[in-house]
Structure 1
Amino acid sequence: MGAAQTRAVRLQESEGRGPGRGARTARFIAGRIVGLMATLFAASLVVFFSRFVVPGDPARFLLRGRSPSPEAIAEVTRQYGLDKSPVEQYLSWIGGVLRGDFGRSLQYRDDVSNVLLQRLPVTLELVAMAAILITVLGLAAGIFASLRRGRFADRAILITSTALGAVPSFVIAILLIAVFSVQLGWFPSFGSGDEGLDRFVHLVLPALALGLAFVALVARVTRSSMNEQFVREHVEVATSRGLTKSSVVLRHVLRNAISPILLVSGVLVAGLLVSSAIVEQTFGLAGIGSLLVQSVDRLDFPVVQAIVLVVVVAFVTVNTVVDLIQPLIDPRIAAGTETR
């Protein structure tokens, strides 16, 4: 009886159940959180010290366009803390970041936090619309192609997704403007619009331009993951037992295929903040993507550092959240027994 109980406990643990499950889950979550903090710390170091790679004297750069006197250089050096060591400057900067103080913009002569808060809503709304588009259309196309695998619809979706994935977002943006703005006049082609419905109308084409290429990737991953599950033994057993096709797809195919789909979708959605810069420039949107391009062009270091740090934090946080959600879908991940 003791040996049988031992085998039963081991079987439960291998399936993500049993008395050791809570400890493994806690270690899994703790490991992801520690990884998140370490990544953010390393990113903050790279973001801050990259400023020292730019050639030239920062004080003279801040006084560009003039013939600065030694007194003016000394005053700027003191005002921006450039007389301190790099380590002291980093500690002062990261301490301000933790308090929500990213410094002062050189081009806007205002706090970086205020500049970002004015631009952030447009980018967040654009990313949210594109994320919904990616999730809904990508999953729908991938599921439909998998259910029609080997048929014309499957091949058509596969070819279309391959073509869309190869087209840059700015090319899609130009085509959308030419068709839906210039020819049909359905949507505006420039500006962010006012709050509410007007903002939504202005963001339709940018969201499509930003999300269509990612829709293709999600569709291909969904199709591939579901096709892999369809040939698994448990699906064949469920089908032979007389379960309906919808029940087999929902309970045995899609549920087991959702883990890689979720992982890829999380990475793509997090990357929308980075990709939004080109689309915002094309459509003249007042978001942080276009602000980043302008700030790099004008060498506004505090704004560039703040935007890059915000993007990195968002990217790493979204991926960590996806990692933490996956064990809820498939406990084998936390148990370390997932098989491919």
Structure 2
Amino acid sequence: MRIVQAVPVAFGVTVVVFLLVHLIPGNPAESILGAQATPARVAALSKQMGLDESLPQQYLHFLDNIAHGNLGQSYTYQTSVLSLVLQRVPVTLLLVLYSVVLMLIISVPLSAWAASRPGGARDHAVRVVPLVGLGMPQFWVGVMLLLVFAVGFKWFPVGGYGQTFSQHLWYLFLPALTLAISVSPVIIRSLRSSMLNVLESDYVATARSKGAGGWSLFSGHVLRNAVIPAVSIVGVNVGYLVGGTLVIEQVFAIPGLGSLLIGSIQARDFPSVQAVALFVAVFVVAVGVLTDIVYTLLDPRVDLTRRGDV
């Protein structure tokens, strides 16, 4: 069962996160002490933080802390890492959700528009979108949107997050659009292909013979069945969006997990880096499990206990 398989995956994530963090060059004790760093002081602070222990011992302490809901103390902020992460999580999750909504707003109409006239001018025009979109790096798209709509037209703020929910939506529109543009090409290609297969099916031909057409045919027969194969692609790309937010948050100066991660890496703040990386990895695993659940709700013929290859 996929949910059961997620347990060893989550355990593997802790190993990878721990090892990757400890591959970051530099000694956190030296970064904290700065100009006051001497061999004696570095050694004393390293012992105080447990950095003088072997990696296996540090990893066991890391697991023990996770089991007790303790992700450690930030070297930089001198506060609980868990509280730091929980402060930033809502910002990043709102950005991801906003991106998914914009992604669907872009992808579904374009896919339907292209599939309605396969081989026609509109189909060829939409098929160019994935080729162009996949060739544009996220940060470049973000910078271009900033230059045009924030600096040029001044329609949106250059960066920040705002104070109220309506301000959050306004401030996050350009970064969310950046992420949606980067993912939409893959969704459009997958959804268009699924729609074409559904349109050629016998049950759609039967529905047409009974007089169904237009929006009723599309919503009742085409879209629901075309979405099923595309769900897995959407789920994978939602996980990709989470990783993308870490970069885009830097471009737009958003106080989410991305800015916390970059700042913690620069400061050699191991506990903070581990906490952010762990959250992102576990979130991606959770999205995979949720994708399977949604898949089975859309198509009851699928047995979740046997579906472990998606």
Question: What is the TM-score with the length of structure 1 in the denominator?
Answer: 0.81
User: Partners in 1 of 2:46 and 2:188 — Cα distance?
Assistant: 53
User: Partners in 2 of 1:230 and 1:98 — Cα distance?
Assistant: 51
Are 1:68 and 2:49 matched, yes or no?
no
User: Partners in 1 of 2:152 and 2:201 — Cα distance?
Assistant: 49
Are 1:45 and 2:15 matched, yes or no?
yes
Residues 273, 289 of structure 1: 8 Å contact kept: no
Residues 26, 268 of structure 2: 8 Å contact kept: no
For residue 309 of structure 1, what is the aligned residue in structure 2?
278
144, 164, 183: which one aligns with 2:113: 144
Question: Which stretches in structure 1 are left out of the alignment for 5+ residues?
Answer: 1-30
For residue 85 of structure 2, what is the aligned residue in structure 1?
116
Are 1:36 and 2:6 matched, yes or no?
yes
Residues 225, 261 of structure 1: 8 Å contact kept: yes
Change (3 A) 1:214 1:238: same
For residue 255 of structure 1, what is the aligned residue in structure 2?
224
Change (3 A) 1:268 1:236: same
For residue 282 of structure 1, what is the aligned residue in structure 2?
251
- 1:103: how far off? 1.0
Cα RMSD for the two superposed structures:
2.4
135, 148, 168: which one aligns with 1:199: 168
Change (3 A) 1:188 1:58: closer
Change (3 A) 1:198 1:295: same
Residues 231, 291 of structure 2: 8 Å contact kept: yes
Question: Which stretches in structure 2 are left out of the alignment for 5+ residues?
Answer: none
Change (3 A) 1:76 1:237: same
Question: What are the Cα deviations for residues 238-295 of structure 1, in whole angstroms up to 9, with x where unaligned?
Answer: 4345443544433443333212211111111222121012211111111111221222
For residue 28 of structure 1, what is the aligned residue in structure 2?
none
AA partner of residue 47 (structure 1): V
AA partner of residue 49 (structure 2): Y
- 1:328: how far off? 2.1
AA partner of residue 50 (structure 2): G
Please say which of residues 310-319 and 175-184 is displaced more in the overlay. Answer: 175-184
Counterparts of 1:129-140 in structure 2, within 5 Å, are 129-140=98-109
Are 1:177 and 2:164 matched, yes or no?
no
AA partner of residue 299 (structure 2): D
- Structure number with greater CO (CA < 8 Å, separation at least 6) is 2
- 1:323: how far off? 1.0
For residue 89 of structure 1, what is the aligned residue in structure 2?
58
Change (3 A) 1:170 1:74: closer
Counterparts of 1:152-301 in structure 2, within 5 Å, are 152-301=121-270
Q: Which has the larger radius of gyration?
A: 1
Change (3 A) 1:152 1:188: same
